[in-house]
Chain A
């Protein structure tokens, strides 16, 4: 199992605040270290939007056309409009007609609010980026790692081909959708990963999301269980302190209780899914990308083929 060495599309999804962008950045570094040409992408509504992913590459936002963010790593923000323009130019062939179409207020309105056109634009831009060929004959972007914002967006993108093909079975849109579906639903080429935290609500949401991804026939790469707390206490210390903390609500108690909760939630997650789980430790703020890159690489090594290769107790 090594998604970073052979797959072309990795989709990272998960609710806000779970560290999805930083895991995306860490995966990009690992893939780059393995000699692949990497593109990181995120879905945007507006090119001026603040980008949490860009922050991990020292920028405020990602460019609208792929640009190098770090050696061997390019980045781009996928915008509905970029993809829609690309698509219209390609389908209409005549540039005069394309210009007229793009200049039409009615078409603009339709594209900004019409049925699934936003996802369609993003889908098409992603497809165009996957198709690009490099001077050496290989792919320009050997692996595209997409940071998917809200979970709903992930499902509307992976479920898009089936939804629209029922409605529009023929024509250029259908062709593009089939080509995209060919990439997305092929376990050799793509995988979706859920990033979550070892806490109650995030684990429940992760399980719901895995179910949703399966329904859209998206191959599942696994789950990154991020920010797993490091337990500073020995079993003896725990046994001695627990009764004291039951009596006193003091600062520090939360940190004491977190590892127990994390283990319980990890157990529940393992019991409810057969997806591979990669445990990533909580790392301090400074040098967070470098630290998490190493940690992710370690989690990866610890799980060669087996689905539950992280240590039984869930410790990193």
Chain B
């Protein structure tokens, strides 16, 4: 693994441009629909242009963004940004940008193969009817596979920086919470209760209640199958539990940065507050807020004045400019509101973290030109 350029400094408000040059992992968290994926892509692009070998691990990119990054066919391995685009983007060796669209089933299958003792045992697990559905059904499984892929790719040492776009969810916190829920489920004592041969009277009584409940709810046949599934998996789950803890430790390290991507909404500050508290509680290195789709920077633009029409404007141009001025006043007010929100986020971020704004782009930011523009803003932040 190549050494990080310099050990990331703590205190003093970090800059995004610094984070993307020094850290090994950037985790982009955020609720669905705030532009997390494009932010992750733009961050990666900026880091690659700065000469780093970067991988962006995306979960659910729009079709156009997947095309831009060259991952529309969902390849099993990370793929390099097509050469023509890398050239346009100004990425040159040693810098490079790979992208990978995370396939949860693929990652889960690979983990099963790695964690089981023999190929036969692996096949037994992979063939299980419940397992075949489980990777899409278990809450926290997507978050787990994302973390697992991240951990593996970072440790392989092929990349200086891996940027993770977290799975879509209602809450930005889901990514942080999910592994805990998963490890609670796979805790060996919890599983033991579902298995037939537990020791001791209390365990037997509890297991009897569970068996009665399971049969009543699922019917005898499925309940039996479920018990089979759990006993096949119990050994695997124990290893998994250890892994979840290892990964949590890894994510608490100083080379990792958690960013919250958000957009202007009445709940933005509340969300930011929760996120910051939660990362602190879990000892995860929170490094900043990215206020996306914001008009905060628009206030820097000029107000249109009447001279725009030149010396002798036509009546149509005159009335058009009057309307433009009215719209400009409204836009200025909106810009002021978003700027105030950004200032609040800066205060909230405190010393160890930053708060930056990215522009609202109604045509989306999933083509190369726009992504580059967003990367410029990030690199200047």
Residues of chain A touching chain B, judged by Cβ–Cβ distance below 8 Å, are: 15-18, 45, 50, 52, 55, 87-88, 91-92, 97, 100-101, 104-107, 109-110, 112-118, 149-153, 163, 166-168, 170-174, 199-201, 204-205, 208, 232-234, 236-241, 244-245, 248-256, 258, 261
Q: Which residues from 129 to 161 on chain B have a C-beta closer than 8 Å to any C-beta of chain A? A: 129-130, 133-134, 136-140
Contact with A along B103-147 (1 / 0, CB 8 A): 000000000000000000000000001100110111110000000
The answer to whether B185 touches A250 (Cβ under 8 A) is: no
B14 interface hit (Cβ, 8 Å): no
Query: What's the Cα separation between A256 and B304 when bound, in Å?
Result: 12
A240 to B304, CA, bound (A): 15
B316 close to A (CB within 8 Å): yes
Known: A117-B139, A153-B170. 18 other contacts (CB 8 A): A16-B263, A17-B293, A88-B217, A101-B209, A101-B210, A112-B139, A112-B181, A114-B139, A115-B130, A167-B133, A167-B222, A168-B219, A201-B364, A234-B319, A241-B317, A251-B327, A252-B327, A254-B331
Which of these, B32, B266, B308, B326, contacts A150 with CB under 8 Å?
Answer: B32
Q: Which 10 A-B pairs have the closest CB atoms?
A: A171-B219, A16-B33, A252-B328, A237-B320, A106-B193, A15-B33, A251-B328, A255-B327, A201-B364, A240-B317
B302 touches A248 (CB 8 A): yes
- Residues on B with C-beta less than 8 A from A238 are 320
- Verify B216–A92 contact, CB threshold 8 A: yes
Instruction: With CB as the reference atom, state the residue of chain B lying closest to A242.
Output: B320
Docked CA distance A116–B193 (Å): 20
Residues in A with CB closer than 8 Å to B137 are: 115-116, 163
* B364 and A241 within 8 A (CB): no
Q: Is the CB of B323 within 8 A of A107?
A: no
B320 touching A105, Cβ below 8 Å: no
Binding site for A on B (CB under 8 A): 31-34, 62-64, 129-130, 133-134, 136-140, 168-171, 181-182, 184-185, 187, 190-191, 193-194, 206, 209-210, 212-213, 216-219, 221-222, 263, 265-267, 270, 293, 298, 301-304, 308-309, 313-314, 316-317, 319-321, 323-328, 330-332, 335, 362-364, 366
For B317, the closest partner residue in chain A by CB is A240
Shortest CB-to-CB span from A82 to chain B, Å, is 17
- Which residues of chain B have C-beta atoms less than 8 A from A249's C-beta? 301-302
Count of A-B residue pairs with CB < 8 Å: 204
The answer to whether B323 and A109 have CB atoms under 8 Å apart is: no
* Of A101, A208, A232, A248, the contact of B327 (CB 8 Å cutoff): A232
A236 nearest CB neighbor, chain B only: B316
Max chain B Cβ within 10 angstroms of own Cβ: one of A97, A114, A150, A174:
A150
* Main secondary structure on A side of the interface with B: helix
Q: Is the CB of A97 within 8 A of B184?
A: no
Residues on the B chain within 8 Å of A170, using CB = 219, 221-222
A-B contact pairs, 17 of them (CB 8 A): A17-B34, A50-B267, A87-B217, A91-B217, A97-B209, A104-B209, A104-B210, A106-B194, A112-B185, A113-B182, A151-B32, A151-B168, A152-B169, A170-B219, A200-B364, A251-B301, A251-B335
The chain B residue with its CB closest to the CB of A235 is B316
Tell whether, in the assembled complex, residue A114 and residue B323 are in contact, meaning their CB atoms are under 8 Å apart: no
Nearest residue, chain A, Cβ from B293: A17
Do residues A237 and B32 form an inter-chain contact, with CB atoms below 8 A?
no
Query: CA of A117 to CA of B213 in the docked complex: distance in angstroms?
Result: 15
Q: Which residues on the A side are within 8 Å of B209 (C-beta)? A: 97, 100-101, 104
Q: Which residue of the partner chain B has the closest CB to A234?
A: B316
Is the CB–CB distance between B216 and A172 below 8 Å? yes
B147 to chain A, nearest CB (A): 15
When distances are taken between beta carbons in the complex, the residues of chain A under 8 Å from B328 are 250-252, 255
